Structure 1
Amino acid sequence: MQADSMFGRPPVEVAPGAVHTPDWLNLDDQRRVVAACREWAAPPAGMRHTTLPSGGVMSVQTVCLGWHWTPYRYSRFTEDGSPVKPLPDWLAELGARAVGDPGYRPDVALVNFYDQDAKMGMHQDKDERSEAPVVSLSVGDSCVFRFGNTEHRNRPWTDVELRSGDLFVFGGPSRFAYHGVMKTLPGTGDPATGLTAGRLNITLRVSGLD
């Protein structure tokens, strides 16, 4: 886990093409994200626990924007036939600013809510047809984020504490690295964001789909 220094938390390249930038979202940005997530979570096409092909149910709750993710494919419609909610321009623009490229135009966002017991196992983001970077934004409680290698779920990996407002971008040689959330840290978030408990994570991606 990365330690604070007397100079704050500087950006860290965790692996080639994978950069953790602490405190990237200011408080107003975080409040905007929380308010928007409350609207996106409401039905139709609202937040739900995803059922895996194995029959297992993910502990994290998810709502999708732009494209609806169902393991392991994208659709314009949710499982009940509702049209997926649009990805707003302001969120896509945050993604472009995050990667420092005005030409980066994410067209899909997975909005995940973690309660104090939710986790996410090691996995690759490989359902997209594009190799453009993935942008991850965190608001609320901190978590232990594990960033691994591109070959398998085992070591080597690096555990990173992601706090409210943090940005994590991975692309290039790390675009298909295995990663996951080992645990959330209840009570570590700032209620001033508007989120009194739990963690919100938004991952922005370029689907490569028409």
Structure 2
Amino acid sequence: MPQQLSMFAVRVSAPEGLQYVPDFISPEVEQDLIAAIRTLPLQPFQFGHFEGKRRVASFGYRYDYSLRRLELADPIPSWLAGVIAEIESFGGPTTEIGQVLCTEYDVGVGIGWHRDKPHFDRVFGLSLGSSCKFRFRKSNGPSWERFTLDAEPRSLYMMSGASRRIWEHSIPAVEATRYSITFRTMLDAGAGVSRPRSARS
């Protein structure tokens, strides 16, 4: 892990609250994370009765689209403890990761326009294996205001503020197999769901 993180200067037109750090992890750590994700029982993403092409595994919490609520998931695995510590250090003293999503994007797979569920607060994304176009849009009268971030392998992005709450984001079909790990803090860890065990337990 790098001891000092150099912040990438995102263009002025970037959504407020979006931060980006290139080379957040080393190539060796990246390969270890990819190898660990490949051992997970990844399942096609379930959106109600629909099945997405990307494959995922949730930890801490998962969102049940049929029940429209958070459910407890398996504890955050210990092999993520080091990365989580670095992300929490980057996010500041109030940062506590409560949910993790590991995703595999095969060639030709992307994700449509959306915002993360309101149960979550800040969102950190770690790109692995290949780059992607991380697209943002928000309504501006009859048109859309748009921004695209080139998310390189080993980079970290953080969404907070307007970039998290107002802008939607999506990823077009990737040209090479890509993995990502999404780390989320909780806005309301209550909502009738007890706090899960984590990698630090």
Q: Same fold (TM over 0.5)?
A: yes
Which residue in the other structure is 1:109 paired with? 100
**Structure 1, residues 132-186: CA drift from partner, whole Å, max 9, x if none?**
x21000001211111223889x721212221211111110222222111112122
1:114 counterpart letter in structure 2: Y
Mapped to 2, the partners of 1:18 and 1:180 lie a distance apart of 14
Distance verdict in 2 for CA 1:102–1:26, change over 3 Å: farther
Aligned match of 2:156 in 161, 167, 173?
167
Mapped to 2, the partners of 1:38 and 1:117 lie a distance apart of 19
Which residue in the other structure is 2:113 paired with? 122
Mapped to 1, the partners of 2:86 and 2:140 lie a distance apart of 30
Bigger proportion of residues as strand = 2
Map 1:41-80 → 2, pairs under 5 A: 41=40, 46-53=41-48, 55-71=49-65, 72-77=68-73
Aligned identity (percent) is 20
Q: What is the number of residues matched between the two proteins? A: 175
Mapped to 1, the partners of 2:154 and 2:104 lie a distance apart of 15
SS in 1 for 2:173: strand
Distance verdict in 2 for CA 1:124–1:113, change over 3 Å: same
Return the TM-score normalized by structure 2.
Answer: 0.77
Deviation at 1:22, TM superposition (A): 2.0
Any unmatched runs of 5+ in structure 2? 1-6, 195-201
Mapped to 2, the partners of 1:52 and 1:125 lie a distance apart of 13
Any unmatched runs of 5+ in structure 1? 1-8, 78-83, 187-197
Question: What is the root-mean-square deviation of aligned Cα atoms in Å?
Answer: 2.4
- Please tell me whether the aligned partners of residues 139 and 145 of structure 2 are also in contact (alpha carbons under 8 angstroms): no
SS in 2 for 1:104: coil
2:9 counterpart letter in structure 1: P
SS in 1 for 2:85: helix
Mapped to 2, the partners of 1:104 and 1:66 lie a distance apart of 15
4+ residue stretches of structure 1 with deviation over 3 A? none
- Please tell me whether the aligned partners of residues 138 and 167 of structure 1 are also in contact (alpha carbons under 8 angstroms): yes
SS in 2 for 1:107: strand
SS in 1 for 2:103: strand
Return the TM-score normalized by structure 1.
Answer: 0.74
- Please tell me whether the aligned partners of residues 60 and 115 of structure 1 are also in contact (alpha carbons under 8 angstroms): yes
**1:92 maps to 2:92:** no
